[in-house]
């Protein structure tokens, strides 16, 4: 399929899959070298940027996020901004105020979240690469549910300039693609120091020289409580890795059990302060009732335009930072974060990577998701949260399909700055694993 065909089909595809919040009407690729899309929490000059939230409706940034600017400079054409959970709050992209992306393998199921639209675009558009963002798993989760590769570089490797904050100490821009060669091709384009983001300033050079993963540690804790479908595909994946001469060893990593609660304390603490800037005066909608006093104006505006999950996280994050509770929750969660980092360092002293399934189950049906409580949803992130807390790079590789043809993914985690090993593994894996292309309906 040519780029012109892709552009000509976007509207039709979006009606069926709802992967884009906004997309180009241009059907001529012009002199574009490649097409790409970006999650709607990355600022872009020529599209509205809403982060899946009604509170930002109408916000048109005046600048491109550095990652988007770099891809454009390399000849990329940004074709659309992808649907996502509001501000990244979610695991299924169902917390989007706009379209909810539909899984390309079964439209009654989720694309995962919160970069669900990006994973959907990567799965159904030929040769496509999409920018996603991960705070606690939002690249690997949707990549796993949509059967594509998803790469999250080390925290700080890619500038966060123009990334609308969820949790500043956790947010990372990553890449999603069906073809892992795209990860190798575009990671160097988006990576690097950026004077606009000091957290990108102290990084060793990115060198993609083909370093290999020769040994993986599989935490016992990670294979408890996963579905049979995932277990079978993951065990087949381990067998295949052994046939590639990769040593597989089961290890105990008790710290991993505490990563998920620590993450939800830290992420919501940061989110609750970040969301304070949306008050109906600075960004996006500004159509509240101006006859009200300051406080009443802000309260009514935020009540009307934040979704339920955003409100829940503001409450939770404010509580965990409050005087009297801070030490018990926020400070404790920071300690757990250090413990998780130490646990990874311990493992990396003897292994190249940590390997787990990416999600504990295949993509669920929307009907089942609507029955899940917030806490039940949070718990499903227990495998993707640890590398995000540690800031270590990680990769989703599709590793199998269940009897209904739904994809299963496995997640490799390497030490800080070792993206090379992940990119090499993705390429090596792709030579022997047949990634299925979903049958696209329009």
Q: Among residues 27 and 169, whose Cβ is nearest to ligand GLN?
A: 169
- Token pair in block for residue 290: 């101006």
Q: Among residues 37 and 114, whose Cβ is nearest to ligand GLN?
A: 114
Decide if 133 contacts 405 (C-beta within 8 A): no
DSSP symbol at 125: S
Residues forming beta bridges with residue 215, ordered by sequence position: 247
Q: Minimum distance from CB of 15 to ligand GLN (Å)?
A: 26
Q: Is 129 exposed, middle or buried (0-12, 13-18, 19+ CB in 10 A)?
A: buried
Q: Minimum distance from CB of 167 to ligand GLN (Å)?
A: 8
Q: Among residues 141 and 241, whose Cβ is nearest to ligand GLN?
A: 141
DSSP string, 322-336: STTTTIIIIIHHHHH
96 is catalytic: no
Decide if 358 contacts 411 (C-beta within 8 A): yes
Distances (CA, A) of 340 to 45, 231, 254, 336, 430: 38, 24, 9, 6, 30
Q: Among residues 141 and 426, whose Cβ is nearest to ligand GLN?
A: 141
Decide if 213 contacts 95 (C-beta within 8 A): no
Q: Minimum distance from CB of 412 to ligand GLN (Å)?
A: 18
Q: Minimum distance from CB of 243 to ligand GLN (Å)?
A: 33
- Token pair in block for residue 412: 């490799």
Q: Minimum distance from CB of 404 to ligand GLN (Å)?
A: 24
81 is catalytic: no
CA distance linking residue 13 with residue 20, whole number of Å: 10
DSSP string, 225-279: T--HHHHHHHHHHHHHHHHTT-EEEEE--GGGGGHHHHHHHHHHHHHHHHGGG-S
Q: Contacts from 365-372 at CB under 8 Å and sequence distance 24+?
A: 365/108, 365/109, 365/110, 366/92, 366/94, 366/100, 366/108, 366/109, 366/110, 367/108, 369/92, 369/94, 369/110, 370/94
Q: Of 53, 96, 114, 272, which one is the catalytic site residue?
A: 114
Q: Minimum distance from CB of 426 to ligand GLN (Å)?
A: 20
Q: Of 39, 77, 102, 421, which one is the catalytic site residue?
A: 39
Q: Among residues 164 and 213, whose Cβ is nearest to ligand GLN?
A: 164
**Residues forming the site for ligand GLN (CB under 6 A):** 88-91, 114, 134-138, 166, 267, 381
Q: Where are the alpha helices (DSSP H) in 349-442?
A: 366-369, 374-379, 385-390, 419-432
114 is catalytic: yes
CA distance linking residue 203 with residue 191, whole number of Å: 10
Q: Among residues 181 and 334, whose Cβ is nearest to ligand GLN?
A: 334
Beta-carbon contacts of 290 under 8 Å, excluding residues fewer than 6 positions away, are 297
Q: Minimum distance from CB of 117 to ligand GLN (Å)?
A: 13
- φ and ψ at residue 417, rounded to 5 degrees: 70, 5
Q: Among residues 148 and 246, whose Cβ is nearest to ligand GLN?
A: 148
Q: Minimum distance from CB of 169 to ligand GLN (Å)?
A: 13
Q: Among residues 86 and 419, whose Cβ is nearest to ligand GLN?
A: 86
Q: Of 118, 130, 134, 138, which one is the catalytic site residue?
A: 138
Task: Report the catalytic residues.
Answer: 39, 114, 138
């Amino acid at each position: 399929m040519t780029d012109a065909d892709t552009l000509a089909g976007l509207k039709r595809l979006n009606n069926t899959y709802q992967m884009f919040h906004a997309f180009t009407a241009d059907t001529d690729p012009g002199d574009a070298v490649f097409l790409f899309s970006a999650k709607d929490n990355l600022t872009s000059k020529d599209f509205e940027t809403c982060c899946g939230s009604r509170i930002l409706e109408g916000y048109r940034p005046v600048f491109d996020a550095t990652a988007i600017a770099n891809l454009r400079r390399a000849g990329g054409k940004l074709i659309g901004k992808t649907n996502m959970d509001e501000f990244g709050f979610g695991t299924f992209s169902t917390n989007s105020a706009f379209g909810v992306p539909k899984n390309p393998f079964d439209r009654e199921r989720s694309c995962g979240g919160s970069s669900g639209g990006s994973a959907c675009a990567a799965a159904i558009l030929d040769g496509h690469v999409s920018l996603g963002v991960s705070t606690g798993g939002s690249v690997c989760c949707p990549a796993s549910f949509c059967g594509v590769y998803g790469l999250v570089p080390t925290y700080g490797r890619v500038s966060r300039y123009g990334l609308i904050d969820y949790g500043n100490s956790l947010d990372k821009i990553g890449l999603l693609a069906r073809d892992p060669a795209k990860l190798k091709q575009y990671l160097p384009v988006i990576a690097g120091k950026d004077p606009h983001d000091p957290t990108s300033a102290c990084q060793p050079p990115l060198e993609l020289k083909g370093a290999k993963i020769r040994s993986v540690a599989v935490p016992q804790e990670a294979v408890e409580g996963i579905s049979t479908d995932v277990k079978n595909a993951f065990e087949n994946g381990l067998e295949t890795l052994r046939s590639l001469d990769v040593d597989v060893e089961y290890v105990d990593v008790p710290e991993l059990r505490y990563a998920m609660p620590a993450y939800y304390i830290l992420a919501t603490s940061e989110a609750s302060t970040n969301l304070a800037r949306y008050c109906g005066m600075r960004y996006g909608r500004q159509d509240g009732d101006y006859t009200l006093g300051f406080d009443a104006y802000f309260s009514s505006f935020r009540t009307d335009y934040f979704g339920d999950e955003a409100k829940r996280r503001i409450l939770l994050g404010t509580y965990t930072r409050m005087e009297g509770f801070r030490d018990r929750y926020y400070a404790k969660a920071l300690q757990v974060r250090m413990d998780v980092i130490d646990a990874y360092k311990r493992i990396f002293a003897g292994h190249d990577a940590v390997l787990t399934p990416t999600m504990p189950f295949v993509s669920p049906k929307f009907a089942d998701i609507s029955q899940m409580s917030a806490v039940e949803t949070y718990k499903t992130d227990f495998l993707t949260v640890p590398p995000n807390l540690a800031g270590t790079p990680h990769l989703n590789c599709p590793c199998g399909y269940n009897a209904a043809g739904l994809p299963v993914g496995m997640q490799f985690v390497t030490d800080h700055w070792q993206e090379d090993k992940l990119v090499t593994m993705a390429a090596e894996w792709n030579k022997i694993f047949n990634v299925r292309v979903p049958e696209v309906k329009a």
